[in-house]
Structures are given as structure tokens and as C-alpha cells.
Structure 1
Amino acid sequence: MMSITKERTVGQIVKDDYRTAQIFQQHGLDFCCGGGRTIEEACAKKDVDLNKIVQALNQITTDGSKEDNYDQWSLDFLVDYIVNNHHEFTRNKLPEIGKYAKKVAAVHGKRHEELNVIYYEFTMLHTEIFNHLDKEEHILFPYIKQLVEAEKEGVKPEKPEFGEAANPIAMMEDEHDEAGTSMAKIRRLSNDFTPPEDACTTYRLLYENLEGFEKDLHKHVHLENNILFPKALELEKRLNT
């Protein structure tokens, strides 16, 4: 892999080697919804040492090993991976976190008022994300699989009711931004998911699970925004040319 420079976009770097995501996460740099920014722009926005980030990224990408290269997967396989891993994780984890959030807010909300806001934000996020997953699984993802099938058969795809892939993709990306904003607010309210000294076990579990969910969400959104969606748009355009 060529040396990483400050002009490369964050999303492209993570797309090429997902291990680099850990560097961006450690420094609070958005690689999913903000993947279109260059490293220089991302570092300036967060007032992070640019040279330090570039050095750390190059150290990872030149060590000779590599994780799964999602960018090389077929689109239908990537869709199945997202549904079977990230959608399944989300559907199982959000109700569990919701129970923790409700209980902790009820018990500790008077002493730590931010817990009431966290519970409210998470409840809204829970509903929005479940609706989002349904739209992907019943509208956009089936169409992407149809595009893949059309390419295999050498035919033009049938035009969907929503016109073209760009329409639902724009909606999905907007909803990704909203989810990212909600989780960023929860992170701030929770002091980066750091429980206070008087936190009980459930309180600590809440923050631990919120942090785990945020990490999964970042990867989930990255796979869609930076790999699946751009490639689906390219495929649709190629098939209809």
C-alpha cells in the first residue's frame, strides 16, 4: 500500500484497510458520516495533531497484515454481511440497552440528571434506527441485489418505484447522519461513556454497551456510506448506459 498522505480522505483510507478505523476512533475523528473529508480537514476540525495521525496510519498499513477487505466483496455478499451482522446486532442490542437506560435513569436520574436526557435520546434513536433498518431491508437492499443479478444476466434492471438508487440512498445517508449526531450527544452527556464513582453495576453496563453499540454503528455506517452505496450507484449507472 502506498504511503498515506494528508490529502487522502478518511473514508477511502478506512475503505482500503479497516484497521485504520481504530486510529480515527481513538482521536474522535469521524470516518463514517464524515468520510469525505481529507485527513487534514478532519484533524483541523477536531484540533488533532495531523502529523501524529498520519504517522500512526502509516505504521498500521505497512506492517504486512490486513483484515478483511470489504471493498473487494461482491455487493450482494456485502448486503448479506451487513444484515446478518450489523442489523442483527442492532436489533438484539438496542432493546437490551433501552432496559438499562430506563432503569438507570429511574434510580440515578435525580443525582445525575444527564441520565434522563440520555434515556430520552436513546429511546428516540431506538425507534428511528429500527425504522431505518426496515427501509434498507425491504426497499434499498433488494434493489441492490437486483442490480447484481441483472449484471450477471447481462440485462438492464427494471426501474424501481423510487426512480433510481440515489433517492433512497440519500435518505439513508441523512438518517445515518442523524444517528451519528444522536450518539455523539449521548457520548458528550456520558463524559465519553465514563461512569461516575457512585455508579452501580447496571449503570456501568449501560455505558459499556452504549460504547460498544457506537463502535458497531460506525463500522455499519462506514460499510454502507463508503463502500456499498457508491458501488451500487456505479453499478446502476453502468447497467443503464
Structure 2
Amino acid sequence: MNFEVQNTVGSIVAKDLRFADVFKKNGIDFCCGGGATIEAACAGKNIDPKEILRQIEEMATTNSSALGIDFNTFPLDLLVDYIEKTHHRYIRENVPLIIQYVDKVASVHGDRHPELVEVRDLFHGCAVEITNHLAKEEEILFPYIKQLVEADLSGSEISMAPFGSVKNPIAMMIEEHEGEGARFEKISALTNNYTVPEDACMTYRVTFDKLKDFEEDLHNHVHLENNILFLRAAELESRLVK
């Protein structure tokens, strides 16, 4: 794979989700910040962009027989279903559990570790906002994307949606993604990247593990939408809607 420093971070991860590990290791945002070029992203971190390209090439060469899923090849309606059944389902299953955990550790350990109270409040905010976010995608944006796919397959005409161009709800979804990304940056910073203190009990450790897993799933989820689904949906609409 031949990538250049002017390739965007998101387009590289879109080729193979495993490349996200290179960006994670170097502290580069590949989901909400996926529109930045490698050169720009590295400039903000004082990293040599050629070193990032070297690491990507090394991963591609070393693991060439185990390439990740190429989500760019998914039909858009299949990608929508994948996101709902993988990431939306994950969120709905884990939010109630994590709320119980953050509530418990804040109650038991909050006196000695007051940052846990803030973590609890941040996650409660996430629970409300992200639940509303999923509903907007599933009830408004995703059905319209499927209508675009159906019109493309059948050769039928499709009218502009009541919300105007698909770019309008997409812009709202991206803004909300950025909000959740910022929220989890705070949680990660407050927990020292989910590092448990020496006096942590098992519940404390499980809580941090679940928060870390949730953030990782969120990054992959946002990447699929921002850097693949939304771009392709906008392109399809521009071709179909005159």
C-alpha cells in the first residue's frame, strides 16, 4: 500500500481498520479528526509524518495475510445494518451496565478519588446524548440512506428529503460525534488513560476496563460513519438527486 503524507487519516483507516492502532499509539485522532492529512495531524503532535507512514507500511507488510475488513466494499445499506447491529447494539447493551459501575465506584471511592464523581457525571451525560443520537440516526438518517440505495438499484427517481440534503443531518451527527469524542477525552484524562490506583477494588478495575472498551468501540463506530458511510452517502445523493 502506497500512502502519502497528504492522504487523510480517515481514508487510511478506511482501507484497513487495523491501521487505527498506528494512530492510537501515536495519539492521533482517526475518527472525529479523520479529515486531517497525516502531515497536518503529525504537525500538531510534533511527529515525523514519514515515521507514521513507515509504521503503516510495516503493519501492512507484516500482516498482509490477515488484512482487516474492507468496509469500503460494503453496499451502503449493508454498512448501515452493520453499524446498527454491531455498534448501536453495543451501546444500548453497555450503557446501563456502565452507569451502574460508575455510580458504585463514585459512591464508594469518591471521597479518596474525587475524579470518579466527575467521570460518573460525564458518563451520565454521554448516556443521555448518545441515546438520542442513535434514535436520530435510526429514525431519520439511516432510512434515507437506504432509500438512496434502493433508488440507485432500481433506477427510480428520489426526491429531496424534508431535511434537505443528506449533508444536513450528517453535519449534525458529526458535530455530536465530536462532542462525545471530547467527553471521552476528559474521562481518559481524569483516569490517567484508565489506570487504576493501587487501592482499587475489582469493581473499580472492571469499571475502567468497561469505559476503555466503550471509548474504543466509539472510535471505531465514529470512524465508520464519518470517514466511510457519510462520505459515500453524500456522493450517492449528489448523483441521484437533481
TM-score category of the 2 structures, normalised to the smaller one:
over 0.9
Partner of 1:110: 111
Unaligned runs of 5+ in 2: none
Contact 1:165–1:236 (Cα < 8 Å) also in 2: yes
Partner of 1:19: 18
**Paired residues for 1:28-107 under 5 Å:** 28-63=27-62, 64-65=64-65, 66-107=67-108
Contact 2:39–2:49 (Cα < 8 Å) also in 1: yes
TM-score, scaled relative to structure 1: 0.96
3-state secondary structure, aligned to 1:46:
coil
Contact 1:17–1:61 (Cα < 8 Å) also in 2: no
User: C-alpha deviations, 1:128-163, integer Å up to 9, x for none?
Assistant: 000000000000000000000000110121322111
Partner of 2:138: 137
Could you tell me how far apart the structure 2 residues matched to 1:217 and 1:138 are?
A: 20
TM-score, scaled relative to structure 2: 0.96
Of 181-190 and 160-169, more deviation after overlay is shown by 160-169
Could you tell me how far apart the structure 2 residues matched to 1:52 and 1:94 are?
A: 37
Unaligned runs of 5+ in 1: none
Contact 2:72–2:228 (Cα < 8 Å) also in 1: yes
Contact 1:10–1:31 (Cα < 8 Å) also in 2: yes
Could you tell me how far apart the structure 2 residues matched to 1:50 and 1:230 are?
A: 25
Partner of 1:177: 178
**Paired residues for 1:183-198 under 5 Å:** 183-198=184-199
Could you tell me how far apart the structure 2 residues matched to 1:189 and 1:48 are?
A: 25
User: C-alpha deviations, 1:176-211, integer Å up to 9, x for none?
Assistant: 000000001100000000011101111111111111
- CA shift, 1:5, in A, is 2.6
Could you tell me how far apart the structure 2 residues matched to 1:235 and 1:51 are?
A: 34
Partner of 2:166: 165
Of 135-144 and 89-98, more deviation after overlay is shown by 89-98
User: C-alpha deviations, 1:60-108, integer Å up to 9, x for none?
Assistant: 1234231110011100000000000000001001111111000000000
State the aligned residue count.
240
3-state secondary structure, aligned to 1:11:
helix
Contact 2:159–2:241 (Cα < 8 Å) also in 1: no
Contact 1:33–1:225 (Cα < 8 Å) also in 2: yes
